[in-house]
Chains A and B, each alone.
Chain A
Amino acid sequence: MKTVTKEVLKTTANKLMFDMSDEQYDHLVSEFDILIKQMNLIGEIEGVDTAEPMTFPFDVTNDYLREDVATAPENKEEILKNSADVVDGQIRLPKVVK
């Protein structure tokens, strides 16, 4: 397992669109220290590598699909009322440069 550095964590945070204080990154490095140790212990558990990864709590396979029927849309004003910046019935952002 590679060592977790402050720089890597900062990049990870920035890609998640936020930043933290220096002291928080230090704190996080020590949290990772414990977590990585724990995960390494898990790696040693017999059969863990060959187990099928589990996403759902139990077998929930089903054959349900929603019928393609449209319901009435929400009122435009209601849909937009929680946004901080609405112009002409649309949410405004600084120009998005592609």
Chain B
Amino acid sequence: MKYMNLSITKIHEAILKGEVTPLELVKEAIEACKKDDNNSFEYICEKEAIERVDKLDESKKDSLLYGIPVVIKDNYSTKDIPTTGSSNMLNGYVPIFSSEVVLRLEKAGAIVVAKATMDELAMGGSGTTGHLGITYNPWDKSKTHLIGGSSCGSASSVAAGIVPFSIGSDTGDSVRKPASYGALVGFKPSWGRISRFGLFPFATSLDHVAYFTRNVEDSAILLNVLAGRDDKDFSSSFKPVEDYTARLNESVKGKKIAVIKEIMDSISNTSIKEAFNKNIAALKNLGAIVEPVSIDHKLLKAIYPTYIIISCAESTSNNANLDGVKFGPRESGESFEEIMTNTRSKGFSRLIKRRFVIGGYSLLKENQDELFVRAQKCRRLIVDAFNKVFEKYDAIYCPASPKVAPLVSSDSDALSDEYLIADNYMAFANMGGFPSITLPLGFEDNLPFGGNLTGKPFDESGVLSIAKVIENCTGLKDLVAKEGK
């Protein structure tokens, strides 16, 4: 009997009934990690996981995550477990502290079985730029399609049924995009809802803790474990937490959902449009009020460049601690300047260095007004435009991507509407800190695609309740690639 392809609640029931033990679950997950052929992992924590199972406190058996294996993106600090952010800059780095997310998961009884590979330092959306190379899409046995990034290993491990859920991080769409390519539920709660202490920062003002599950209910269960104030993270919210599963069965009747017209217009793929419209019709049938709403086309096109400038600028500073002095590999040199320059020249990949130059250049005194500050001003206009929609609507719903998982060799036209809008609009939810969830919508040639639902800041319960209805309508849940289509 396999368990890792089941939902959290099903596995939990099996543990309570004594059908399976945490040790057996961990062994199943570890074996699956070892057999993984999609290049999902940086490090498999076999010894550490088994030790942790030994230390499980049986009196906490009622916790839904008790004994359940989880995979963590390699940009979360894990005490005594190597954490590299998939960068050669951090090869051999073994943190002496754990991130708050990991601490909360462990407290709830979850067992970390592996660290997932990713785009280097979470920059990049392809799942190809980490120091271990390309991560493949489990839905495609020919190894020609990507799972997408930056949380590629976290996505592929859940899509392949290796673990029931995994932790990723989302700065532009790094969980919500791969979720679309992997038939997964990818949820990014509000900025400040989950502590980021111990998450390697990429762009602090846009970074969010986010995660993958295979159904909406599991997503709510996880939020119950992860949400809440942490004094170690100054941006962590004081807003009281809720029971995020409480409103999962709420009716969608009378709820108002906006579909952004310009985003729909920028999509050419007919399978996606059809599936989306079919889903809309079903929602309307259940009494939801779904309406097209317009947002200035220029603003939507501005999301991506605004995101690039802000994220690159913040990332140059956030990663300035990687200099070979205190941790990580060190290259030789006659002076500290030479050591830093040699170490950073060798340790960062080309893409990262180009992004750093973009960020550094945008922050220079003579350029700040026209680049960094202009991007921050534009961010305000973008967020204001979406907030205006939220004044009248409970949520915004659109396809999460204009196409299915791209080919390994694919290239996009950086100036096209489809690229600038449909493929990159989801960063608006990072700019405004909105809770945003991607969930399966359909398949084209056996490759999945998803829809994305976004709500008002801290309305996680509202977003999850509509997402649950969408899931009910599509019937697409608990999908696992190896046994699936």
Contact = CB atoms under 8 A, between A and B. Distances in A.
The short answer to whether A and B are in direct contact, CB under 8 Å, is yes
Interface of A: 1-2, 4, 8-9, 12-21, 24, 27-28, 31-32, 34-35, 37-39, 41-45, 47-49, 51-58, 60, 62, 64, 66, 74, 78-79, 81-85, 91, 93-94, 96-97
A82 B373 CA distance: 37
A26 to B, nearest CB: 11
B323 A18 contact: no
B325 interface: yes
Interface residues of B, number: 75
B326 A83 contact: yes
Given A83-B326, A84-B324, A45 B94 contact: no
B377 A82 contact: no
21 contacts: A2-B366, A9-B361, A13-B357, A15-B360, A24-B350, A35-B305, A38-B302, A39-B375, A41-B301, A45-B299, A48-B374, A48-B377, A51-B377, A52-B377, A53-B377, A54-B377, A55-B205, A57-B432, A82-B93, A84-B324, A94-B339
B375 A60 contact: no
Contacts of A8: 361
Contact of B234 (A13, A17, A51, A64): A64
B360 A94 contact: no
A57 B358 contact: no
B289 interface: no
A27 B205 CA distance: 28
Contact of A83 (B327, B340, B345, B431): B327
A46 to B, nearest CB: 9
A19 B93 contact: no
A56 B433 CA distance: 8
Given A17-B341, A45-B302, A51 B381 contact: yes
A57 B383 contact: yes
B339 A93 contact: yes
A31 B361 CA distance: 13
Nearest to A92: B325
A34 B336 contact: no
A17 B356 CA distance: 10
Contact of B378 (A31, A42, A94): A42
Nearest to B430: A57
Contact of A81 (B94, B308, B320, B344): B94
Contact of A39 (B96, B371, B376): B371
B312 to A, nearest CB: 9
Q: By DSSP majority rule, is chain A's interface helix, strand, loop, or mixed?
A: loop
Nearest to B382: A54
Contacts of B327: 82-83
Contact of A18 (B325, B345, B358, B377): B345
A31 to B, nearest CB: 6
Contacts of B302: 38, 41-42, 45
Given A35-B308, A48-B374, 16 more contacts: A8-B361, A12-B364, A18-B344, A28-B357, A31-B354, A38-B301, A42-B374, A43-B374, A45-B302, A57-B430, A57-B431, A57-B432, A58-B457, A60-B237, A66-B231, A82-B96
A37 B345 CA distance: 29
Contact of B377 (A16, A49, A66): A49
A17 B344 contact: yes
Nearest to B370: A1
Nearest to B234: A64
Contacts of B340: 17
A60 B191 CA distance: 10
B214 interface: no
A12 B360 contact: yes
Contacts of B93: 82
Contacts of A39: 305, 309, 370-371, 374-375
B337 interface: yes
A42 B238 CA distance: 35
Contact of A54 (B235, B337, B376): B376
Nearest to B302: A42
Which 10 A-B residue pairs are closest in the complex by CB-CB distance? A57-B433, A82-B327, A53-B376, A84-B330, A38-B305, A54-B380, A18-B344, A51-B377, A18-B345, A17-B340
A19 B205 contact: no
Contact of A91 (B309, B326, B348, B376): B326
B164 interface: no
Contacts of B344: 16-18
Contacts of B298: 41, 44-45
B415 A31 contact: no
A96 to B, nearest CB: 6
B335 interface: yes
Contacts of B361: 4, 8-9, 12, 32
Contacts of B192: 60
B414 interface: yes
A92 B454 CA distance: 50
A51 B316 contact: no
Interface in B38-96: 92-94, 96
